[in-house]
Structure 1
Amino acid sequence: MECTLFPALSEGRSAEGRMIQDDRHSCGLHSISRSRSKEITMIRKGIFLGTALFMLAVAAAAPATAYPWCVQGRDMGYPGDCSYETYEQCLASASGRVAFCGINPRVAFRAPRAVVPAYEGRHRKR
């Protein structure tokens, strides 16, 4: 289907002398905006998908470290700010505030690690 951006150029005259327009050779503003709308929608979907994949990659790369000490107090929610490897680091951060140091519940109530028996070789000792 041929389309022109200037519909006035595709107008003609009927046998009675009235102006007629051939709709097959004209492109209305509606059809241009519809295709542009589809293009914008595809761009938005691409941006959304790219952002989602980037966020997933960043989240997967972040280490899930549970530090053993938390600064806890009235200013923080439970369990508090759990970003301290030593008790001394925690105390230094808590000093000067109405706060104290406590054990991180994720560390305290973590499931014990499975004990893997040592490899004894191909044959058992008798």
Structure 2
Amino acid sequence: MESKSTFKITSWDQTVYDEAEPQLGRAVVGKVYSGVVEGTSTAELTMCQPSDGSAGYVGTERFVGAVDGRSGTFVIQHGAIMSAAGEQFWGHIVPGSGTGELAGISGTARLEHELITLDYDLG
């Protein structure tokens, strides 16, 4: 089942761990989700930020809340590449990471510009 929901970033704690070009950093990010996906999450991102304005990140995020009224938790691994040629976003629900009424959840999760598109199966 595919659903779209919105999220707001509620916290962003970023540090640089390698200042050479391109710069490498990490961020711990808090979010609140609204819609079919309702709840909160914490993500750890690793990022690459070249000086030409391109960027890339990969992240692991634990969601706590409900999907279509079923409550529990699951983990998403996602990322993006941004350049003058455009943007590419991807993500997956980690198999076996669901708990509670979300145990067995699987699928893809695309996060972009405060919107999540979750294409999921609850088994």
Which one has a larger percent helix, Structure 1 or Structure 2? 1
Which one has a larger percent strand, Structure 1 or Structure 2? 2
Shorter-chain TM-score tier:
under 0.3
Name the TM-score, length of structure 1 as normaliser: 0.21
Higher RCO (C-alpha under 8 Å, 6+ residues apart): 2
Larger radius of gyration: 1
